[in-house]
Structure 1
Amino acid sequence: MINVVVADDEAPAVEELAFLLDGDDRVGQIHRATSGAAALKALEEFDVDALFLDIHMPALSGLDIARVISRFSRPPAVVFVTADEAQALEAFELAAVDYVLKPIRPERLAESVRRVCEQLQDGPAEPELVTVEKGGVTQLIRRDEIRYVQAQGDYARLHTADASYLIRVPLNDLEQQWGPSGYLRIHRGYLVAMARIEKVRMTPGKACVVIDGTELPVSRRALPLLRGNLAANRIRPL
């Protein structure tokens, strides 16, 4: 189990996040802080594995805290929980494990806890980042957040749990680049993250995979390759 600090300058936000984390069996002690100074004090007083930080706090921001603890010999994992999409680049430059946008969805927070546990077990790893644009704003997203990719002519649409992003890269190129990282071409129009497949449905003359409740078709040509990857990913067809 991991012990965490939750820090936000708004007390209701602290309580909401603490409540959600308390429902996760992987989380042990939860220490609350309503300022950056209080978060650092908690680090001095308690054995802490991870911090869930708001970015915008008076005097000492979440980014400031991340800079301070980056000098620790064994820094705790950092997850930013914020309504600000624009700080993702700086957050990942500070080796943040995750960047969760408000309002918080329980399943998205559970994914962050998984990443924290994974880092504590395996050691820190640099996330693969993808540059995207939405609403005229350039952002960075983690590649492991991308559930599947849909071909749209010379473009590709990246689908995450929260949004979709159009990038000017053909699906053929992404297939070559991302194939070694667990992405499989299941159809001329779709590239999927094998680890995100929830179900595989096979009926006479038709097959599809289910990701986040969305059915995606599997072509006859891709079906043997998909079958070969199912066992490695411990997915059983239904």
Structure 2
Amino acid sequence: MLRVLAVDDEKPLLEELLYLLRSDPRVRSAEGASDATGALRRITRALEAGPDGDDGIDVVFLDIHMAGLTGLDIARLLAGFARPPLIVFVTAHEGFAVQAFDLKAVDYVLKPVRPERLAEAVRRACAQLGRATEAPAAAAEGPPGGPPGAVPAVPGPPGVPAAHRPAAEVTAADRTPEQIAVELGGVTRFVAIADIAYVEAQGDYARLHTDGGSHLVRIPLSTLEERWAARGFVRIHRRHLVALARIDELRLDAGTTSVRVGSAELQVSRRHARGLRDVLMRQATG
């Protein structure tokens, strides 16, 4: 079984990659690093321990474009060691494939990562290390421990998860207008919009926060703001969209405004503060 390190400076993508890797029964452990410095620190510890040591790493799943050192830079550094871990590049860019394979990469996986494509990269790494290469049949049917109540994937372009399709396509894939399709590790489930307390922007993605956890979708926050305005969602900050009905407190402190939504305290930008106060006052007075 493989000991894996995944490296990506985009946290949502790193979390998804780790979920997929940990769902593969051929992967014994999967750690994450969000920058080149952290990755090199962990790899150095693995090299010092040796491939058979407790801190050993068999395969590094490595993004190419990162702040500071790139994934190619890290691979070049590792190439100077006698027994470095294998490298699988995971990137949104096709143009580095030749350089990657010149550096003896095991595989070159394009984002958005499809579970079956990542499984093939794991198989290739296992084959190169002389490990068992075939995942049990249950793994092919979907990752174990998937979200409860999961349903078959919604229709869409072959091999492209709902969370990675354009917003218009995700809308068409929603089961009803009262739900939104979210995906994790190739399993699609439907979240009731009424259960969403607030939404947080994360780059090109949006994270939907509910009482039971959070879900990532590749839809801009501005799109959700427009789509859900009639459902009582208001923009309070460039990073946050909040369900008015879920606001428990409005706080004013030394010229700053914030709201409490469950256990979360969210800042309200100066631009949105007055409008939010007016809306809440109208709501309170009927």
Q: TM-score, normalised by structure 1?
A: 0.50
- Choose the corresponding residue for 1:58, options 34, 54, 67: 67
For 1:5, the equivalent position in structure 2 comes to 5
- Encode CA deviations 1:88-112: one digit per residue, 9 max, x unaligned: 0000000000000001100000000
For 2:142, the equivalent position in structure 1 comes to none
Measure the CA separation in 2 of the matches of 1:84 and 1:9. 15
2:97 aligned with 1:88, yes or no?
Answer: yes
Deviation at 1:30, TM superposition (A): 1.0
Measure the CA separation in 1 of the matches of 2:93 and 2:21. 21
Tell me if the contact between 1:31 and 1:42 (Cα under 8 Å) persists in the aligned partners. no
Q: Partner letter of residue 62 of structure 2?
A: L
> What are the within-5 Å matches in structure 2 for residues 63-82 of structure 1?
63-82=72-91
Secondary structure of residue in 2 paired with 1:107: helix
Note the aligned Cα RMSD (angstroms). 1.5
Measure the CA separation in 2 of the matches of 1:30 and 1:21. 7
Q: Which has the larger radius of gyration?
A: 2
Measure the CA separation in 2 of the matches of 1:31 and 1:92. 24
Q: Partner letter of residue 30 of structure 2?
A: I
For 1:26, the equivalent position in structure 2 comes to 26
Q: Partner letter of residue 55 of structure 1?
A: I
Q: Partner letter of residue 72 of structure 2?
A: L
Measure the CA separation in 2 of the matches of 1:118 and 1:4. 15
Measure the CA separation in 1 of the matches of 2:28 and 2:71. 22
Deviation at 1:44, TM superposition (A): 2.4
2:127 aligned with 1:118, yes or no?
Answer: yes
Deviation at 1:31, TM superposition (A): 1.3
Measure the CA separation in 2 of the matches of 1:37 and 1:20. 24
Measure the CA separation in 2 of the matches of 1:26 and 1:37. 27
> What are the within-5 Å matches in structure 2 for residues 122-137 of structure 1?
none
- Encode CA deviations 1:18-71: one digit per residue, 9 max, x unaligned: 000011000011111001111111112331000000000111110001001001
Q: Percent identity?
A: 53
Q: Partner letter of residue 97 of structure 1?
A: V
Q: TM-score, normalised by structure 2?
A: 0.42
Structure 1: gaps (5+ residues): 123-160, 163-238
Measure the CA separation in 2 of the matches of 1:53 and 1:97. 11
Measure the CA separation in 1 of the matches of 2:106 and 2:63. 14
For 1:102, the equivalent position in structure 2 comes to 111
For 1:35, the equivalent position in structure 2 comes to 35
Q: Partner letter of residue 33 of structure 1?
A: A
Q: Partner letter of residue 117 of structure 2?
A: R
Secondary structure of residue in 1 paired with 2:113: coil
Measure the CA separation in 1 of the matches of 2:105 and 2:44. 20
Measure the CA separation in 2 of the matches of 1:82 and 1:6. 12
Instruction: Please say which of residues 9-18 and 38-47 is displaced more in the overlay.
Output: 38-47
Q: How many residues align?
A: 124
Measure the CA separation in 1 of the matches of 2:25 and 2:33. 21
Measure the CA separation in 2 of the matches of 1:73 and 1:58. 27
Measure the CA separation in 1 of the matches of 2:129 and 2:29. 16
Deviation at 1:73, TM superposition (A): 0.7
Tell me if the contact between 1:51 and 1:76 (Cα under 8 Å) persists in the aligned partners. yes
Tell me if the contact between 1:79 and 1:100 (Cα under 8 Å) persists in the aligned partners. yes
Measure the CA separation in 1 of the matches of 2:6 and 2:69. 14
Measure the CA separation in 2 of the matches of 1:72 and 1:26. 25
